[in-house]
Amino acid sequence: MTYKGFINSYEDLKGKLIIVTGGTSGIGYQLVRHLLNKHADVLLLSRNLEAANKVIEAFKKEFPNSHIEVVKYDQSSFASIKEASDIIIDKYNNFYALIANAGVLVGPKGGRTSEGYPTTIGVNYIGMRYLIDYLSSKLDKPHKFVIQGSIVAAFKLKRNANLKKQYNVFTQYNISKIYTESYVYSLMNSDSIHEYILTEPGISNTRITRHFNGVIRVLGKYFLAIFFHSSKKASLTLLDGIRSNNGEYIVPRGLFTMSGLPKHKKFPYRRIRKEIINHSI
């Protein structure tokens, strides 16, 4: 099946509300475009309301009859996450699926979150987990949570991680995704009324390197653009996750699952670490 074939065969989402974190750039932005094209209602959770409103304005020009809103949300702050979650529970609790896509890749100079975690670990794992833990415990009707993982979770840690230690940037990212994967596995196998789906985007041309210095940022951008698939195609695993069931694991086709249309695989049980499953925040 081709890219266009996949999009054309995807069912209409009219009347379904999809909540998206990290929807103003990169993979999340392209996912929102797919959702609006399929007539879904979209709620953006965004730290930068000015940027989000510009995105909304552009999308409404492209999709004049679309319904898209924004709620202020900072995944590096428990207070902000709770405030946004309470708004969702009060006003948007009929949502069909929440896409946990937001992520960053910053080094030690990137600082720490409000709770004292290095930014990459604090945003990619701790904040994401706080959001899902809080919402899933408060919602009394079934909902779907699609959570973005990464191929880097396949690289094992040599020792248990200290989540508040300032490791180098790539170790932080590796830790955040390994913890994410084991966390999602625990949710899939819990007695929760909700459904949890893990996806991976493969390697694509996204803005995740935007926090690096100019040379690395530019080289990374063009290297990714030349050798790997686009954000538009990388977002399809998340899109596929919306129509999938609890326990599904979705990755791109292609060598080492790095590019291509979505495919469903057996969950990588050998990567799961019990000490992570039992970890609390």
**Element spanning 128, H or E:** helix 128-138
Q: What is the pLDDT of residues 127-142, one digit of tens each?
A: 999 999 999 999 999 9
Q: What is the pLDDT of residues 27-39, one digit of tens each?
A: 999 999 999 999 9
pTM equals: 0.91
Q: What is the pLDDT of residues 160-174, one digit of tens each?
A: 789 999 998 889 999
> How much is the mean pLDDT over the chain?
89
Name the strands in the sheet holding 262-265, side by side, starting at the edge strand that comes first in the sequence: 68-72, 41-46, 17-21, 97-100, 144-148, 195-199, 249-252, 262-265
d(C-alpha 153, C-alpha 193), whole Å:
27
Q: What is the pLDDT of residues 217-258, one digit of tens each?
A: 444 554 455 445 688 999 999 999 999 999 999 999 877 666
Record: fold of 15-277: Rossmann fold (3.40.50)
In order of 75, 77, 111, 173, 227, the CA distances from 115 in angstroms are 11, 7, 11, 18, 37
Nearest to residue 19, comparing CAs of 186, 184, 185, 131? 131
pLDDT at 212 over 50: no
pLDDT at 210 over 70: no
71 token code pair: 């709620």
The predicted model gives 115-125 an average pLDDT of 96
The predicted model gives 7-23 an average pLDDT of 97
Q: Determine the 3-state secondary structure of 13 from DSSP.
A: coil
19 in Cβ contact with 92 (< 8 Å): yes
pLDDT band of residue 273 (cuts 50, 70, 90) is confident
Residue with tokens 């730290």: 47
d(C-alpha 34, C-alpha 29), whole Å:
9
**Element spanning 260, H or E:** none
What burial class does residue 222 get, using C-beta atoms within 10 Å of its C-beta: 0-12 exposed, 13-18 middle, 19+ buried?
A: exposed
**Element spanning 272, H or E:** none
Return the pLDDT at 109: 77
131 token code pair: 């959001």
The predicted model gives 99-111 an average pLDDT of 87
Percentage above 70 pLDDT, the chain: 89
Return the pLDDT at 218: 46
CA 249 to the chain's CA centroid? 14
The ranges assigned to domains in the chain are 15-277
Q: Determine the 3-state secondary structure of 98 from DSSP.
A: strand
> CA angle, corner 51, sides to 11 and 171, nearest 5?
80
130 in Cβ contact with 78 (< 8 Å): yes
Q: Determine the 3-state secondary structure of 33 from DSSP.
A: helix
Lowest mean pLDDT among 78-82, 169-173, 175-179, 251-255: 251-255
Q: Work out whether strand 262-265 and strand 249-252 pair parallel, antiparallel, or are unpaired.
A: antiparallel
